[in-house]
Amino acid sequence: MNKKKIAILGSTGSIGVSALKVAAAFSSYFEITALSAKGSNVELLNEQIKIFKPGIVAVHDKDALIRLRSMNRTKGVKFFSGFEGQLKLIRECEADILLVALVGGSGLIPTLEAIKCGKNIALANKETLVVAGELVMREAKKKGVKIIPVDSEHSAIFQCLNGEDPAKVRKLILTASGGPFMKHTKQELESITPEQALKHPRWDMGKKVTIDSASLLNKGFEIIEAHHFFGISLDNIEVVIHPQCAVHSMVEFVDGSIMAQLGIADMRLPIQFAFFYPERQGNNIPRLNLARIRTLEFFKPDLNKFPALCYALEAAKAGGILPAVLSGSSEAAVNAFLTGKIKFTAMASFIKKALAAHKNIKAPNLAQLLSAERSAKEFVEKEI
């Protein structure tokens, strides 16, 4: 049996680590051909190289690459550095599927490069479709490239739609845990610390996604993603709070039937689905015990307490460059909160300011989208 070749961008992040756990559990099915990482955790990357022996490794930070080379003695590995090194990895590596698990705006250009090279993609980077969803999906269609969602919510919808007629879909229903502050008052949110916000009650995620989840901005990103992934009108995509995190998302059809995908809160499940697609495979991951959960609850999100979701919806409906502005401003706001420069509640305020400060451009090209994202990030940093 020929092993499926997998390349991973962002191998030392939470998604990358989970993906390599899946690859290790199915070592007779998968071969890791390439790994890329930012370079902030050289020790972990070194261990990954020793275990999986990829043919190509790219490290964004050049100093980190020097450290990595000094400690790694694995033979037959080609090392690249910098952003161009990452693009070189994409061009040169053999990959039946390339997992994009990069953080923030850094995922867009590598995704487009992978599409250009005709590589199928497992996409775990939200900002790629938030910033340039229309462009990315158009290019993928031109090249005949499959893009398989890895986010648990979009993977759930993808699975519910399998074999169904998209024309018969009435509504997509994205579920949200509500984050750690669902029961907090608006006043209590003023004094939230980064340490508190990083303690997600259900999921183990990277810092950026965890903070976005706590503010519900993450759900705004996911609405935009779902719109581009599945071609569903923004008006027909709904968010509900579901604290148990058993239902990962749902699809309502024109006859009133609602199909849901359920499972435990473990990113290995959607990653495994993407890696094996269109097949399924057994595993040793714990099963969902509905009798133990007993109750499944669903609530409407409180937009008064969590206005970032509201601003994301406004940006999504306006379209043009505003989703890119949303992405850039959120990245700067989250960084400022994590470093203690602003309050938890101020993140949404700065996003709102950035959206208001940018004149929209309809049907933007890639350069305009990248410029808008960068400009929004710089705007928030300057304001702070």
Helix (H) or strand (E) holding 264: none
pLDDT beyond 90 at 56: yes
> What pLDDT does 72 receive?
83
Tokens 């581009």, residue located: 228
Question: For the packed helices 322-338 and 366-383, what is the interaxial angle rounded to 10 degrees?
Answer: 30
Strand-pair partners of 253: 169
More confident of the two residues 183 and 318: 318
Instruction: Report which of 373, 314, 382 is spatially closest to residue 106, judged by C-alpha positions.
Output: 373
> What pLDDT does 71 receive?
87
| Range in 49-53, 62-66, 275-279 the model is least confident about | 62-66
Instruction: Report which of 21, 53, 39, 237 is spatially closest to residue 133, judged by C-alpha positions.
Output: 237
Per-residue pLDDT tens digits for 72-130 = 888 889 999 999 999 999 999 999 999 999 988 889 999 999 999 999 999 999 999 99
Helix (H) or strand (E) holding 4: strand 4-9
Joined together, the tokens standing for residue 364 give 């933007």
As a whole number, the mean pLDDT across the chain is 95
Helix (H) or strand (E) holding 251: strand 247-253
Other C-beta atoms within 10 Å of 372: how many? 27
> What pLDDT does 175 receive?
97
Q: Is 67 exposed, middle or buried (0-12, 13-18, 19+ CB in 10 A)?
A: middle
pLDDT beyond 90 at 247: yes
Section 162-172 average pLDDT: 95
pLDDT beyond 90 at 372: yes
pLDDT beyond 80 at 1: no
Instruction: Report which of 82, 112, 84 is spatially closest to residue 100, judged by C-alpha positions.
Output: 112
Section 249-255 average pLDDT: 98
Helix (H) or strand (E) holding 7: strand 4-9
- The C-alpha atoms of residue 381 and residue 331 are separated, in whole angstroms, by 10
Q: Read off the amino acid at residue 186.
A: K
- The C-alpha atoms of residue 62 and residue 45 are separated, in whole angstroms, by 14
Going from the N-terminus, what domains does the chain have, and what CATH number goes with each?
A: 4-149 (3.40.50.720), 154-267+286-306 (no CATH), 319-384 (1.10.1740.10)
Strand-pair partners of 234: none
Residue 201's pLDDT band (boundaries 50, 70, 90)? confident
Other C-beta atoms within 10 Å of 165: how many? 9
Coil vs helix vs strand at 339 = coil
What stretches of 16-168 adopt beta strand conformation (E)?
30-37, 56-59, 78-81, 97-100, 121-123, 147-149
Strand-pair partners of 57: 35, 79
Q: Read off the amino acid at residue 343.
A: K
How far is residue 293 CA from its own chain's centroid?
Answer: 27
Q: Torsions phi, psi of 57, nearest 5?
A: -135, 130
> What pLDDT does 39 receive?
84
- The C-alpha atoms of residue 10 and residue 273 are separated, in whole angstroms, by 19
The full DSSP string for 220-250 is HHHHHHHHHHH---GGGEEEEE-TT--EEEE
Per-residue pLDDT tens digits for 26-38 = 999 999 999 999 9
- Residues sharing a CB contact under 8 Å with residue 117, sequence separation 6 or more, in sequence order: 90, 91
| Range in 175-184, 266-275, 289-298 the model is least confident about | 175-184
- Residues sharing a CB contact under 8 Å with residue 247, sequence separation 6 or more, in sequence order: 156, 175, 260, 261, 262, 296
Measured torsion, CA atoms of residues 72, 78, 83, 84, in degrees rounded to the nearest 10? 160
Other C-beta atoms within 10 Å of 384: how many? 15
Question: For the packed helices 217-230 and 346-357, what is the interaxial angle rounded to 10 degrees?
Answer: 50
Q: Are the C-beta atoms of residues 332 and 375 closer than 8 Å to each other? A: no
- Residues sharing a CB contact under 8 Å with residue 212, sequence separation 6 or more, in sequence order: 218, 221, 330, 334
